[in-house]
Structure 1
Amino acid sequence: MKTAKATVLVAMAGLFATPLAAAELGAVDEPIKLAVNEWTGQHITTLIAGHMLKEAGYKVEYITAGYQNMWPAMAEGDLDAAVEVWESNVPQGYYQLRDGGRLEDLGALGLDAREGFVYPAYMEEQCPGLPDWQALAACAANFATVETLPQGRLVDYPGEWGTPGADRMAALNLPFKAIPAGSEGALVAEFKAAQSQKTPLLAVFWQPHWAITAFDLKFTKLPEGTEACYADASAGPNPDVTGDCDFLPTRVFKAAWPGLKEKWPAAHEILTNLQLSVEQQQPLMGAVDVDGRPAEQVVAEWVAANESAWRPIVDAAIR
């Protein structure tokens, strides 16, 4: 979620789950208001959803909304749906509204969101044993720089995002020094520079993000991230600490004003069945963020060329 713009150009067969049964359109004279948040992938998902709703016969409005503070507006019906919600970043107020029946969870979007230690694929030749995390202990010197010797260098998240890399290195007893990146752009610049020179690099990063594909980044296989690992020191490989494991998986889902189902039944069905995978979304993000093309243009091209991927979902919801 931590990226910035978006677009489309890949085959998306199986983009949407099979819906259940046809539903009534409802109030087609009133627009369905979709929240537009701060990152590229969300723009792509929202534009695809909006196109499907329009093809079903609805009016759609795209409303710029702050991700953290849009939930009361949605609970009041001033916004009708948000189609890419990252559970790792929703405020407590969302859960209070949902549990109080004022927001509806429309189910998972299908993105296999992930955070962890990444490296360029060519590092597997310089550090035999990768992607297993234990290989890093023996290969730390291969990742070292002048500022980190004798330890390896890990590029961590920007300082305002916390210190997840430094914390995990310490918990796993790996001989690496974590150096905070200045920004998301600085992280991407590290990947670009390393790829051009085939220099060593290990960093904390996430998917979906276009850089994963563009720079052929691979995730290190850390000990499985579980709730127990973060609560019980005995659950991970280091019996003296908690958090000696991978990031916890992040659920990405869709949420709506509870009145959506009654006011626009077929729209509710379409949004409930909307699905998008990392493999599908990442190249689209790259088309916007790297190629500089408008998300609206890229989505328009995709829907024109791939009608068979989405038309059956719309038709099944309204007929």
Structure 2
Amino acid sequence: MKLQTPKSIRSLVVAGCVSLLSVTGVAKAADSTQPIVIPIHNWSSQIVMAYVIGGMFEKMGNNVEYVPADSQAVYESIRNGDVTISHEVWQSTFGKSFYNAMAKGGVIDAGTHSATTLEEMGVPTWVIEKDLCPGLPNWEALKDCSDNFTTPDSGGKGRWLEGPQSWHGDLMPERLEALGLADKWTVKFAGGADALWTELAAAKKEGRGTVVFNWTPNFTDADGFTFIEFPEYTEGCRKADGGDGRCGSPKGWLKKAANYKFPKTHPAAYTAFTKLDFTTTQIGQMAALVDTDKMDHKDAAAKWLADNEAVWMPWTK
């Protein structure tokens, strides 16, 4: 019998490993040790989901970094490589910025969530039940009920409390003008999502009317919220697109975006990101952990990951 030398034994072991990997298909490029940079915006579901996705990436062995980012400018940051992904691309608010960045190159569409979206002005359902604006949710009811929606900062007019101006610019003031409501209503901008929820709680406690910007999926889906029905959205109906600005918001998709290098630098993480798919209910649950249960965003993400391994673990396979 011919004895194998240590060198020849090592060669056989290496050859065997290579053969096994080629048969099983396990051999894959390893993800980079460079951090995956995830943006943090200013609404609860986005922040909780950021930490959920980051936690998933970390479970896969990746390094993750979180950075505050403007929700419109983030697509340029992704294009330039300063941010790696965006996981809540809302069609109505961010679709144009997303597609503009894609057209310049450097941003890729990483798929669409099952959840469908709507971003619109509306009222808590109890406002309708109390008949504070007869005829709602039809927008024309707003012509005759503004007195029930005045606030100390509204100059005697009814108030629409919009989100931060960075979200939609002058979309809502332009709509008021276009609908002929500006003599009875005014738009004020909230500093962030928390201010919207504070207003909802205060109005309910005081029993007064309130019109606020909201969206679905959100925790308010379970609380009872009614979106106002404005003239139907059509392509080009907004003033910024050459229209008269009367139209409401469209129902839309919720997408994911990524830097074009992400599939090469982090192939496993990118594959998991493309598989990642949240429903309206799941996103609302994430927001509720913070806005209803008053958990910290990171703690909420940790709880969601622990409670939903059957949901996210298959994405990592």
Q: TM-score, normalised by structure 1?
A: 0.70
Higher RCO by CA contacts (8 Å cutoff, separation 6 or greater): 1
For residue 195 of structure 1, report the CA deviation from its aligned partner.
0.8
Match of 1:238 in 2: none
Task: Give 1:106-145 correspondences, 5 Å limit.
Answer: 106-125=110-129, 126=131, 127-140=133-146, 142-143=148-149
Distance in 2 between residues matched to 1:29 and 1:98, nearest whole Å: 24
Q: 1:172 aligns with which of 179, 187, 197?
A: 179
Match of 2:12 in 1: none
Task: Give 1:1-319 correspondences, 5 Å limit.
Answer: 25-28=28-31, 30-39=33-42, 40-55=44-59, 57-67=60-70, 74-75=78-79, 77=81, 79-86=83-90, 88-89=93-94, 98-125=102-129, 126=131, 127-140=133-146, 142-143=148-149, 153-157=158-162, 160=165, 162-174=169-181, 176-181=184-189, 183-184=191-192, 185-210=194-219, 212-213=220-221, 216-230=224-238, 242-248=244-250, 251-289=253-291, 291-315=293-317
Change (3 A) 1:229 1:198: same
Change (3 A) 1:25 1:91: farther
Distance in 2 between residues matched to 1:114 and 1:132, nearest whole Å: 16
Distance in 1 between residues matched to 2:104 and 2:164, nearest whole Å: 36
Change (3 A) 1:70 1:147: closer
Distance in 2 between residues matched to 1:60 and 1:113, nearest whole Å: 31
Change (3 A) 1:297 1:253: same
Quick one: percent identity of the two aligned structures?
24
* 1:220-245 deviation line (CA, Å, top 9, x unaligned): 11122222423699x9xxxxx71111
Larger Rg: 2
Structure 2: unaligned runs, 5 residues or longer? 1-24
Equivalent pair of 2:123/2:212 in contact (CA under 8 Å): yes
Equivalent pair of 2:81/2:259 in contact (CA under 8 Å): yes
Distance in 2 between residues matched to 1:165 and 1:177, nearest whole Å: 11
Equivalent pair of 1:23/1:269 in contact (CA under 8 Å): no
One-letter amino acid matched to 2:159: L
Q: TM-score, normalised by structure 2?
A: 0.71
Number of positions where the alignment pairs a residue of Structure 1 with one of Structure 2: 284
Distance in 2 between residues matched to 1:182 and 1:82, nearest whole Å: 23
One-letter amino acid matched to 1:192: A
For residue 122 of structure 1, report the CA deviation from its aligned partner.
1.7
One-letter amino acid matched to 2:197: V
For residue 219 of structure 1, report the CA deviation from its aligned partner.
0.6
Aligned alpha-carbon RMSD (Å): 3.9
For residue 246 of structure 1, report the CA deviation from its aligned partner.
0.3
Spell out structure 1 runs of 4+ moving beyond 6 A.
Answer: 145-149
Match of 1:10 in 2: none
* 1:150-194 deviation line (CA, Å, top 9, x unaligned): x86132437855444443233223473215255345443332222
